[in-house]
């Protein structure tokens, strides 16, 4: 059976010939790498014209970061991302997405191709009055039936503070997941929105939250999973971008010892 890789694009941006920096000399930083417990987790590569061209995702194997998969990006005549092609580490094309944008450059639709030339499912995007992604709806590619949707809200500084996932079940939509964010730090959403396919993309949710409370629900509305992730030791560069933090996850339900992750972020100009 073929295994498919579903990619929320993570916010790791690397410009060829651009100097990495953490000194805060500029307010136009893009995140360069993310390390978890000292191991490289993700990196993005950009061309000199600042177009995203490749994303690498790594797995830790035998105490070494090994390439797990990568994504190649293509652009249309409007200079917006038109395709995301996902490859395995041995260069096999696994699946791909086709993106569409409106005249304002906002992502309006993303089609997922998992089984050849037929659209498996697609997303339709909506925005609020402040031009922030407020909702996306997931539809079946075969019959256009709505499978579910995700809604977002923001605080008064434009940072993500709540998201809710709903799924269609027999005769109505049911809440399946809720994530409550306590915002903190610099709002990078507007700066990075061009490359985002959901409101927490590009590590934005992690970079701009001091804690998250996540709930999962069953078909009867009963909580099946309940955990909180809290950030401590948050350090910023001179431009206000997060460069280091420790994330501690504590499970309330089900019983689980949780985990601690030491995160490091580098940026490029």
Max Cα–Cα distance, the chain, nearest Å: 55
- Does residue 25 carry a pLDDT above 50? no
At the topology level, CATH places domain 20-268 in Porin (2.40.160)
H or E segment to which residue 189 belongs: helix 189-192
The SS3 call for residue 1 is coil
Q: What is the pLDDT of residues 103-150, one digit of tens each?
A: 999 999 999 999 788 999 999 999 999 999 999 999 999 999 999 999
Q: What is the pLDDT of residues 145-187, one digit of tens each?
A: 999 999 999 999 999 999 999 999 988 999 999 999 999 998 8
- Does residue 9 carry a pLDDT above 70? no
DSSP class of residue 168? Answer: E
Q: CA 202 to CA 222: how far, in whole Å? A: 31
Say if residue 1 is exposed, middle or buried (CB neighbours under 10 Å; 0-12, 13-18, 19+).
exposed
What ranges do the domains of the chain cover?
20-268
- Residues with Cβ < 8 Å from 151, sequence gap 6 or more? 134, 135, 163, 164, 166
- Does residue 265 carry a pLDDT above 70? yes
The larger pLDDT score, comparing residue 44 to residue 185, is at 185
Which residues partner with 173 through β-bridges? 168
The SS3 call for residue 118 is coil
Q: What is the mean pLDDT of the chain?
A: 87
* Nearest Cα residue to 268 out of 243, 245, 246, 247: 243
What is the pLDDT, as a whole number, of residue 201? 79
- Does residue 101 carry a pLDDT above 60? yes
Average of pLDDT values for 186-207?
A: 84
Q: What is the pLDDT of residues 205-231, one digit of tens each?
A: 899 999 999 999 999 999 999 999 999
């Amino acid at each position: 059976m073929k295994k498919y890789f579903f990619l929320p694009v993570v916010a790791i941006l690397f410009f060829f010939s651009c100097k990495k920096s953490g000194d805060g000399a500029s307010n136009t930083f893009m995140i360069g790498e993310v390390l978890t417990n000292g191991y490289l987790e993700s990196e993005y590569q950009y061309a000199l014209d600042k177009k995203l061209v490749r994303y690498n995702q790594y797995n830790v194997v035998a105490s070494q970061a090994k390439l797990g998969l990568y994504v190649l990006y293509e652009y249309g005549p409007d200079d917006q991302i038109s395709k995301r092609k996902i490859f395995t580490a041995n260069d096999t094309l696994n699946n791909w997405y086709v993106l569409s944008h409106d005249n304002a450059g906002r992502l309006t639709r993303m089609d997922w191709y998992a089984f050849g030339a037929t659209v498996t499912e697609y997303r339709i995007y909506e925005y609020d009055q402040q031009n922030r992604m407020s909702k996306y709806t997931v539809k079946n590619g075969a019959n256009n039936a709505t499978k579910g949707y995700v809604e977002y809200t923001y605080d008064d500084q434009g940072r993500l503070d709540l998201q809710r996932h709903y799924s269609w079940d027999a005769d109505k939509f049911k809440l399946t997941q809720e994530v409550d964010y306590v915002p903190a730090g610099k709002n990078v959403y507007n700066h990075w929105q061009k490359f985002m396919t959901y409101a927490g993309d590009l590590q934005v949710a992690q970079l701009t939250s001091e804690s998250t409370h996540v709930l999962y629900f069953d078909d009867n509305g009963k909580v099946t999973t309940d955990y909180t992730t809290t950030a401590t030791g948050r350090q910023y560069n001179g431009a206000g971008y997060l460069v280091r933090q420790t994330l501690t996850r504590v499970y309330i339900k089900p019983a689980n010892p949780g985990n601690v992750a030491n995160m490091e972020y580098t940026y490029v100009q």
